[in-house]
Structures are given as C-alpha cells and as structure tokens.
C-alpha cells in the first residue's frame, strides 16, 4: 500500500451555514419528520434556545435546559423523562458541546432525529462521537447513529459568546484539527481540511479578541470550527484528547479551557515524531521555522486565555492520579509514552512552562 492510498467516509450530516439561518430551523426539523421537539440547552442558554424555538413554525417545542459539561449520565436520564412527558419525536440542541452532547445522548438512546444549532466553536455537531461521564470517569463511544442528522450554523448566534469563551472554544476546535494531522488513520483530504481549519482559527481568534462583534471574525471562526469538527469526526483521536478526557471527566476541569492549556504541551511532545504535521501547522499559520507548540501557546496568551492547569482549577496533588488514569486504556499515540512521561508533561502544563 502506497502513501497515497486511503479510504474516507464523508459525513451524512446536512449543513446549513449563514447569518440569520435560525429562521430555517423549523423547515429543517419538519424535513426530519419532527412535529414535537425537545429543545435541549444549558440553563445559561435557555433564552437563546427559546428564541430558536420561536422559529419552529408548526413544530411544537418543549424546553430542556439541563445540559452540563461532560454529559453526566444522570442528567441524560432526566432529559429522557422530559422527552417522554413532552411526547417529543425529535431533539434540537442549541448551544455548545454540552448541549449537543446531551442531544446526542438522548438521540442515541431513542433513535430519534437530532438537529444541532451550535453557538460555540466546539465542533461536536460534526462528529459521531459521544463522551459521557459516570462516577467520575469519562468514556467515549463512536457510531454513525451518534452524528446529528442536520446542523444549522447561524453566525449571529455566536455574537453573544463572551470573548474569553470564544477564544477557548476556538482553541478547542484547533485541537481537533491539530490532532487530525497526525491521526493513525489520517489521510490527505482530512489533512487539507485540518490545515484550512487551523489557518481560519489562527486568523479569527485575535480578530474576535480585539473586535468581538466582527462578523468576519465570527464567520471565519465558525467555518474553522466546522472544518475542525469534521476532521475529528473522520479520524480517530489520540493522546491529546485522552488527556483532556481524563482531566475533564475525572477532575471536572472546564472542557474548552482544558484543551486550550494542553494543546501546546501535547503538540510539543509529539512534534519530533510527526514532522510533516508540524510543517502543515507552520504553513497554515505562516510560522516559518517557529515552533508550532510555542506559537499555539502564544496565541492563547495573547488572546487572554489560560495557559496552565493551575489557572483552571487543577490541584498539584491531583497530578499523580491524572497520570495514572491517562495511561489506563490509552488512545493511540505517534510517540510512545509511559506514566512517568505523562506525569512530567502534566507537571509542565500545571506550571505553565514554555512547551
């Protein structure tokens, strides 16, 4: 088999992208056969979910503002009860990874159609992946049925996302693209998409940091997130996502911020094992010979995002346990590692040293 051979299954998710496209949510829900929808969101985004529900036309809506980070299974149980009370025959998730994750969990358990309306750059809407937490352990599963049937991207819905959250959400998206460049089952098409996603996000995040209401910046970031999520949905995850799943699921660290902090350190760790991936990042971000790991951290710092684990709630006495969990059932990595190696990496990320 040559280096040019590959296989690729593209997404079956129908995408509507634009400004003001939330007005088309009802049309898309009807296309999926919905007559009564459970509209899932976090408590903080309940008003936005209600606004989307107003555009459902003849499709009735019941709000379910229960979503929280890391999709705890007990929250999914409550949402399932809401679904039954509403006699809903479809799910519409409005929000970021938490809302879309809960929508996926309910859809997977019921087989009902799921329509996603993203308001962040998490990218979950483009992946057939579900991460759920139970008893402090986060597990993930991948299946075609997990992928939402349709996604409506409305750039206007991202304008209210606070600047700091916009940056960390965008860094989370960038992590999907960076890791796709060295995925075990990567291919040249996904690498092109990942490179474009990194280019978009590298350009968009400083613009959003300076001008939060910039439609151009928001559109560029949302397109980058769409591409990055598509990359994550098309290839397998590696060491970066394993570490973030452990830190988030077992220590309740915030999802996007954890990806933001860890991305430079994991990129630095694998860099010598995947030189072609590093060259693609350098080309995407016009870095010349600069270190991709340091450039990513500089981007986060310049946009006011956290750059060490201590800043986002990790305690020093938790690092040993995190290293232990990260080496249990590890994801594939282009560079071998053991518990001691991961412990050292986590210590650097905790202290915020230069990657």
Q: The whole model's pTM is what?
A: 0.91
Q: 204 and 315 share a domain?
A: yes
* pLDDT category of residue 8 using cuts at 50, 70 and 90: low
User: What is the helix (H) or strand (E) element at residue 345, kind and residue range?
Assistant: helix 339-351
Q: Report the percent of the chain where pLDDT is more than 90.
A: 93
Q: 225 and 330 share a domain?
A: yes
Q: 182 and 285 share a domain?
A: yes
Domain that holds residue 187: 163-351
Nearest to 252 by CA among 71, 30, 37: 71
Q: 219 and 109 share a domain?
A: no
Q: 144 and 184 share a domain?
A: no
Nearest to 310 by CA among 275, 258, 256: 258
**Which distant-in-sequence residues (6+ apart) come within 8 Å of 261 by Cβ?**
300, 306, 307, 308, 309, 311, 312, 349
Q: 123 and 198 share a domain?
A: no
What pLDDT is stored for residue 258 in this prediction?
A: 98
What pLDDT is stored for residue 9 in this prediction?
A: 66
Lowest-confidence segment of 32-36, 185-189, 298-302 by average pLDDT: 185-189
Final residue belonging to a domain, choices 109, 133, 158 = 158
Q: 151 and 265 share a domain?
A: no
Mean of pLDDT over the chain: 95
* pLDDT category of residue 13 using cuts at 50, 70 and 90: confident
How many beta carbons lie within 10 A of that of residue 55, not counting itself? 20
Q: 208 and 317 share a domain?
A: yes
Q: 60 and 115 share a domain?
A: yes
Q: Is residue 6 part of a domain?
A: no
Q: Is residue 250 part of a domain?
A: yes
**Which distant-in-sequence residues (6+ apart) come within 8 Å of 180 by Cβ?**
186, 190, 191, 193, 194, 228, 231, 232, 234, 235
Q: Is the backbone of residue 185 left (phi > 0), alpha (psi -120 to 50) or beta? A: alpha
CATH code of 244's domain: 1.20.1090.10
* pLDDT exceeds 60 at position 2: no
* pLDDT exceeds 50 at position 1: no
* pLDDT exceeds 50 at position 107: yes
Q: Is residue 7 part of a domain?
A: no
* Model pLDDT for residues 72-101, shown as the tens digit of each residue: 999 999 999 999 999 999 999 999 999 999
* pLDDT exceeds 70 at position 276: yes
**Interior/surface letters 269-278, b for 16+ CB within 10 angstroms, e for the rest:** bbbeebeebb
* pLDDT exceeds 60 at position 329: yes
CATH code of 59's domain: 3.40.50.1970
- Is residue 345 a contact partner of residue 242, using CB atoms and an 8 Å limit? no
Q: What average pLDDT does the segment 24-53 reach?
A: 97
Q: 173 and 112 share a domain?
A: no
* Model pLDDT for residues 287-320, shown as the tens digit of each residue: 999 999 999 999 999 999 999 999 999 999 999 9
Final residue belonging to a domain, choices 135, 158, 181 = 158
Q: 190 and 332 share a domain?
A: yes
Q: What average pLDDT does the segment 165-177 reach?
A: 97
* pLDDT exceeds 70 at position 195: yes
Q: What average pLDDT does the segment 205-217 reach?
A: 97
Q: What average pLDDT does the segment 109-113 reach?
A: 98
């Amino acid at each position: 088999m040559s280096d040019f051979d590959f296989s690729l299954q593209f997404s079956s998710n129908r995408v509507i992208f634009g400004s003001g496209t939330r007005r088309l949510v009802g049309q898309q829900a009807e296309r999926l056969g919905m007559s009564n929808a459970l509209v899932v969101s976090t408590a903080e985004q309940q008003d936005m979910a209600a606004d989307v529900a107003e555009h459902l036309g003849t499709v009735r809506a019941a709000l379910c503002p229960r979503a929280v980070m890391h999709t705890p299974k007990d929250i999914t149980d409550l949402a399932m009860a809401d679904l039954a009370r509403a006699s809903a025959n479809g799910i519409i998730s409005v929000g970021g990874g938490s809302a879309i994750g809960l929508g996926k969990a309910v859809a997977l358990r019921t087989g009902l159609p799921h329509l996603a309306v993203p308001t962040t750059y998490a990218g979950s809407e483009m992946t057939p992946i579900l991460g759920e937490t139970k008893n402090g352990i986060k597990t993930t599963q991948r299946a075609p049925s997990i992928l939402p049937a349709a996604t409506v991207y409305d750039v206007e819905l991202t304008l209210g996302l606070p600047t700091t959250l916009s940056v960390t959400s965008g860094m989370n998206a960038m992590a999907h693209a960076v890791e796709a460049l060295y995925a075990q089952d990567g291919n040249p098409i996904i690498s092109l998409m990942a490179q474009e996603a990194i280019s978009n996000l590298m350009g968009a995040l400083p613009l959003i940091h300076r001008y939060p209401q910039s439609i151009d910046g928001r559109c560029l970031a949302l397109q980058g997130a769409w591409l990055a999520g598509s990359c994550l949905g098309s290839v397998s995850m590696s060491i970066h996502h394993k570490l973030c799943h452990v830190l988030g699921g077992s220590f309740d660290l915030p999802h996007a911020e954890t990806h933001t902090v860890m991305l430079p350190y994991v990129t630095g760790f694998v860099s010598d094992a995947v030189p072609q991936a590093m060259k693609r990042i350098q080309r995407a971000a016009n870095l010349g010979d600069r270190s991709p790991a340091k450039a990513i951290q500089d981007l986060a710092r310049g946009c006011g995002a956290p750059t060490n684990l201590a800043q986002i709630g990790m305690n020093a006495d938790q690092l040993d346990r995190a290293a232990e969990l990260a080496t249990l059932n590890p994801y594939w990595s282009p560079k071998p590692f053991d518990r001691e190696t991961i412990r050292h990496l986590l210590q650097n990320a905790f202290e915020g040293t230069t990657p």
